[in-house]
Amino acid sequence: MADITVVKRDGSKRPFDANKINLTLLAVSEGLPDQIAKVAQIAAELQLTLFDGITTEQLDEALIQTAVQNVKDDPDFDTIAARLLLRTIYQQVLGDYTNEIELKKLHAQKFPIYIRQAAKEGLLDKRMADSQLFNLKKLAAALDPSKDSLSKYLGVVTNRNRYALRRQSGDPIEVPQFTNMRIAMGLSFNEANPTEAAIDFYRHMANLEYSPGGSTRVNAGGSFPQLSNCFVMEVQDDMASIAKSIRDTMFIAKGTGGIGISMNKLRAAGSPVKTTNTESTGPIPFMKMIDTALFAVSRKGKKAGAAAAYMENWHLNFPQFLDLRQNSGDPYLRTRFLDTAVFISDEFMKRVQDGQDWYLFAPAEVSDLNELYGEAFSRRYQEYIKLAEAGKINRFEVVPARQQFRQILGSLQATGHPWLTWKDAINLRALNNNTGTIHLSNLCTEITLPEDENNIATCNLVSMNLSAFLNADKTWDWDRLAVSVRSATRQLDNLIDITNTPVAEAMHSNEQNRALGLGYMGLSDVLEKLEISYESEAAYDLV
């Protein structure tokens, strides 16, 4: 490959050095079975991607992607890809190094410089560099780059692309352990001893015992500390509420929040607008406005905010709602960024099972259905059917329940939308249903919190990694799990006091309710380590 020239980061040129590539591959494949064969395979496949004038960055990426494309055949290539990517990140942020000892020293040397400079540039909260709060030298000494080996390639690349801090130019200024320590510091401002608290939080995260939610990972310690993850709001049927909901969506999305938005109260298309003596266009155009707002505040590859619109399937415009995510059709009646979810009642599923009809109503004529669930919903819904058949309801449509359900499932298969959520199951089983009807879930459909005009329900997330607490002898380390859960809970409690969401109703709800979402991940890893089939009775008993 003597005719291949590589352009280095400083602009100078040098001939492609296959021997250097082989040495790099030997280093990143150390300890793996069939090391020489794997090195030879990647080196040979790399040759197919080379071209004259390739840059160092392109060469690094080609090497990584060559390893990635072989992961499907041998998971050891995932380890190689992760190590290659880590080497690239280290070199970009810290500079060259020759061994692990030098790498750890570079972490300790560069971390205080990074914190002070980023705070000076306005990328980080000025408190991060406050010597009255944090002992940066002590924090730097606690950094452990060997913990990077715990992450798979997907974890490393996701952290680099979505969570690690960058300058406006796009240049990265964080290695993975800098990111973990930044998060830990950003959640320790209100501790009596912020340095010790940050080290405790850091060690749990570095060991992959728990992971904060995405918004926390992006914004903790930053100049825009919107740290809460999930937001749930209901749009009221008036222009002021619609406009404010669009505004609130923009500000929450700016801070990378995930939003659930109930559009169920909005009057159906064709309903009268008394103030202007006209007819409403219905909820769909307003969903398009929210969709456009989400696009407008996208974050150029960094983790972006996102939202899902919810609607109950008795709404007269539900058929149009079903089509929102279709690829064809009027672009003004389609959304590309706004996800959709349907809030389904038990009454509907009973009618599907029994082959009965399903009635669609205009919300203005059946306004109390939005607040009812369970048997109360079924009774009232059946009363409205009788009123419709008696000619006492002006606008309604009748479809076979099974037909609508097939349409829902067909759309789900074709577009991935709408997501199915269950109104009665959520409200009947929610621990906080005494505070009001739950009208929807959030973007990810795991949060069930009541909201109202004065409260945008807010939740703050951490996921415990179950596989981190399974010992080599396949027993559980319950004591370490208990310590880690306490640490994660304290971190979340701090988050509520530190976060700053520029939406008053969300801040009020967060401070008053202090909702913590302590979930878990790593179940499939645990089942694999225990050699338990996912669908087995043993797996059911474990969960």
> Residue 520: is it exposed, middle or buried by C-beta count within 10 angstroms (0-12/13-18/19+)?
middle
Burial readout 172-196 (b: 16 or more C-beta within 10 A, e: otherwise): bbbbbbbbbbbbbbbbbbebeebbe
Kindly tell me the number of DSSP H helices and DSSP E strands found in the chain.
21, 15
3-state helix, strand, coil in the chain (%, to 5): 50, 15, 35
Taking the C-alpha atoms of residue 435 and residue 89, their distance in angstroms, rounded to an integer, is: 49
Taking the C-alpha atoms of residue 543 and residue 537, their distance in angstroms, rounded to an integer, is: 10
**442 catalytically annotated:** yes
**19 catalytically annotated:** no
**459 catalytically annotated:** no
**Residue type at position 385:** I
- Contact status, residue 133 vs residue 194, Cβ threshold 8 Å: yes
Q: Which of 485, 430, 496 is nearest to 463 (CA)?
A: 485
> Could you give phi then psi for residue 464, rounded to 5 degrees?
-80, 135
Which residue in the list 446, 453, 511, 528 is annotated as catalytic? Answer: 446
Which residue in the list 70, 229, 442, 455 is annotated as catalytic? Answer: 442
- Bridge-based pairing state of the strands 457-465 and 210-212: antiparallel
- Contact status, residue 305 vs residue 293, Cβ threshold 8 Å: no
Taking the C-alpha atoms of residue 141 and residue 416, their distance in angstroms, rounded to an integer, is: 47
Which residue in the list 22, 135, 444, 513 is annotated as catalytic? Answer: 444
Taking the C-alpha atoms of residue 38 and residue 398, their distance in angstroms, rounded to an integer, is: 63
Please list the active-site residues.
442, 444, 446
